[in-house]
Amino acid sequence: MTYRGVVLDVDGTVVRGDEPIPGAAEGLDRLGRAGLRRLFVSNNPTKRPPAYAERLRRAGFDAHPDEIVTAGTITTDYLADNHADDVLFVVGEDALVDQLTDAGLSVVADEARADTVVVSIDRTFDYDRLCAALRACDDEAVTLVGTDPDMVIPAAEGDLPGSGAIINAVAGVVGRDPDVMLGKPSEPAQRVVRERLGLPPADCLVVGDRLDTDIALGERAGMTTALVRTGVTDDRDLERSDVQPDYVLDSLADVATIL
């Protein structure tokens, strides 16, 4: 099959931390020679596209911010479109708050004022913050938003808890699931991917290391999917999952076998 566009995960597929994953350079070169329009899509809610482009540059890869979509940008766009007048209480890091406030959204420190609670990765998350999130959701009319479902994220020192771990903690004490979970594989993420690539889904390939986000995104969007073994998914995960990729590759270098 001839593809015209490719959606690429970043962490676990192209880089781990700031280090390139073996085979990623070869794979990206092959995709470039094939002339595919590319889009890097990450469930990291803390880094803006320019920061991601710089991160990829440090790993030896050239990428323009216009080629990058993150859970932070998806969350910001979603809230601007659907909750522009809401007062937001954020369980998350300053980088996410900055993205929201720069878009003109109102973020407050007083959980009692919240119309919408946004929950994301927070590496300073503690019991007091969990209590504040519980108080913020006392009113069932308050909207609960998760930036992305990633339970763990691949890092240079090994896998670490991601947004999903924090979101599950808050959802557990609140007693309800988020009203919307953004990032991959959500419908808002699919919509952004379709708009950015501007191609029929059947002409697009999705490559990533996670079944529940990368592969599920491609499956739901009607795109061909390829799982790489360089991230968080192993053979046991594949056997147990209802979400199955069209192809399984040892690394991004093997993408040449399916182009």
Collapsing DSSP to helix, strand or coil, 161 comes out as: strand
Give phi and psi for 231, each to the nearest 5: -115, -125
Please confirm, yes or no, whether 11 is among the known catalytic residues.
Answer: yes
Question: What is 178-223 written as a DSSP string?
Answer: -SEE-STTSHHHHHHHHHHH-S-GGGEEEEES-IIIIIHHHHHHT-
- CB burial of 143-153 (b: ≥16 within 10 Å; e: otherwise) equals bbbbbbbbbbb
CB 222 within 8 A of CB 202: yes
The active-site residue out of 11, 86, 122, 209 is 11
Which of 9, 86, 122, 212 is an active site residue? 9
CB 36 within 8 A of CB 5: yes
Structure token digits, residue 17: 């931390």
Catalytic residue numbers? Answer: 9, 11
